[in-house]
Amino acid sequence: MSMFDWQEKSPAVLESGGVIGPGERLPWPQTAAMGVQHVIAMFGATVLAPILMGFDPNLAILMSGIGTLIFFAITGGKVPSYLGSSFAFIGVVIAATAYAGKGPNPNIGLALGGIIACGAVYTLVGFVVQAAGTGWIERFMPPVVTGAVVAVIGLNLASIPVKNMAASNFDSWMQVLTFVSVGLVAVFTRGMVQRLLILVGLILASIAYAVLANGLGLGKPMDLSGVAAAAWVGMPNFSAPVFSANAMLLIVPVVIVLVAENLGHIKAVTAMTGRDLDQYMGRAFIGDGIATMVSGAAGGTGVTTYAENIGVMAATKIYSTAVFLVAALIAVLLGFSPKFGAVIQAIPLPVMGGVSIVVFGLIAVAGAKIWVDNKVDFSQNKNLIVAAITLILGTADFTLKFGDFALGGIGTATFGAIVLYALLNRDGVPARPAKPFA
């Protein structure tokens, strides 16, 4: 079967709200609409990361699309995933380039060399996994570990919309209005409108925001001046890498975080779809690694599989890789169109925050669902301790530093869960039931 050969569902099945698997697709018009929804889900974070590092946001969007196409091709269109700008690079890039935090990064070349080196090591890890197989995954990541890691992805990100995307009481209420709008669409609509619950809820909340802020003056008005001023077509700012040993040694360890994120992503999608994607783990690492190298070579950020898009899949029950193909092509077009990029950036931050609350919450619940579906026995102390510690490490963003390299919450939670389970699950040590809490 060709990677572009998807089975098309009938309209009757679509209206019934059935699950669309990775190897299936909706009719192309609905697939295109779903692609737009995924672009919006990833857009805010993919633009924010390069801004924080002094990179060109338009180039980051372009390379996210190209990276997703590379990932799609290398995985044979089997793994539903979108590759966006990785936040794991922010700290080490700032350290390697001494970036002051505003405007273009004058030492961006040093960062790009490190990003390419990190991508190369990541690709090598993928080849090792591809050759050695994935049996180790089941040994080191049973359902109690997998569920905790998936839940942590959502919980770790929870503070972003709550703490950073609502500057006033009005903004907080707009977040409430947004996630309530998404909830109403999810429950009380049917058919394609229900499938597009994130996009439709976002549009409804944006209209309400415009009425309340621009019309009644209750909050900061939506600013559309950037849309009017932006050109329809424009080239992003490409940059050349500079290979410095110091910068590469500082940035390469980020591969640990990228492996953790990608592994958690595949485990989450496996749990949601009921289809074992472990066999594509090595190819997924290779695809992500090569996409990171290509992005760095052009002047873009390192890329990673995006939790926001996992949340959209969890909400819509559509896991078709065709949707990500469309989303990638849209992102490529947006990379050459400052006008469309400005439209997305004009969406009020509280509205994006409300959507993020829904998306991140769905990821956390997907982790709990792994425990339920696999009947994880929390009367066993080893399961209880592993889950408890993992959730707290990830939610509190527990960070361990190794010189200038910092392993943040998702990384410490992922590897902590694996190591802790291996330690507590030694052969010959019986599992004892946990005592009730006092």
Which pLDDT tens digit goes with each residue over 118-127? 999 999 999 9
Task: Return the axis-axis angle of helices 321-335 and 28-53, rounded to nearest 10°.
Answer: 50
Section 289-299 average pLDDT: 97
Other C-beta atoms lying within 10 Å of the C-beta of residue 270: 19
pLDDT of residue 207 exceeding 70: yes
* Model confidence pLDDT, tens digit, residues 159-177: 878 887 788 899 999 999 9
- pLDDT value at residue 231: 85
Q: Is residue 67 within 8 Å of 331, Cβ to Cβ? A: no
406: helix, strand or coil:
strand
| Six-digit token string for 160 | 């972003």
Dump the DSSP string for 395-414. HTT--EEETTEEE-HHHHHH
Q: Who contacts 320 (Cβ-Cβ below 8 Å, separation ≥6)?
A: 6, 20, 21, 22, 24, 25, 26, 31, 34, 80
CA–CA separation, 372 vs 255, rounded Å? 31
CA–CA separation, 348 vs 390, rounded Å? 34
Section 24-50 average pLDDT: 83
User: Any idea where the domains of the chain sit in the sequence?
Assistant: 20-424
- φ, ψ for residue 353, nearest 5 deg: -65, -40
CA–CA separation, 236 vs 233, rounded Å? 10
Q: In whole angstroms, how far apart are CA 55 and each of 41, 94, 125, 128?
A: 20, 11, 27, 32
Q: Is residue 178 within 8 Å of 353, Cβ to Cβ? A: yes
pLDDT band at 362 (very low <50, low <70, confident <90, very high): confident
- pLDDT value at residue 299: 95
What size, in residues, is the chain? 438
CA–CA separation, 387 vs 149, rounded Å? 9
Q: Greater confidence, 181 or 311?
A: 181
Residue 407: which of 261, 244, 295 has the closest Cα? 261
Instruction: Classify strands 24-25 and 7-8 as parallel, antiparallel or unpaired.
Output: parallel
Q: Greater confidence, 8 or 349?
A: 349
DSSP 8-state secondary structure symbol assigned to residue 221: P
Terminal-residue alpha carbon distance, the chain: 58
What is the rounded average pLDDT for all residues in the chain? 83
CA–CA separation, 198 vs 134, rounded Å? 34
* Model confidence pLDDT, tens digit, residues 326-339: 999 999 998 898 88
CA–CA separation, 319 vs 36, rounded Å? 15
CA–CA separation, 272 vs 267, rounded Å? 9
Beta strands in 150-254 (DSSP E): none
| pTM exceeds cut of 0.75 | no
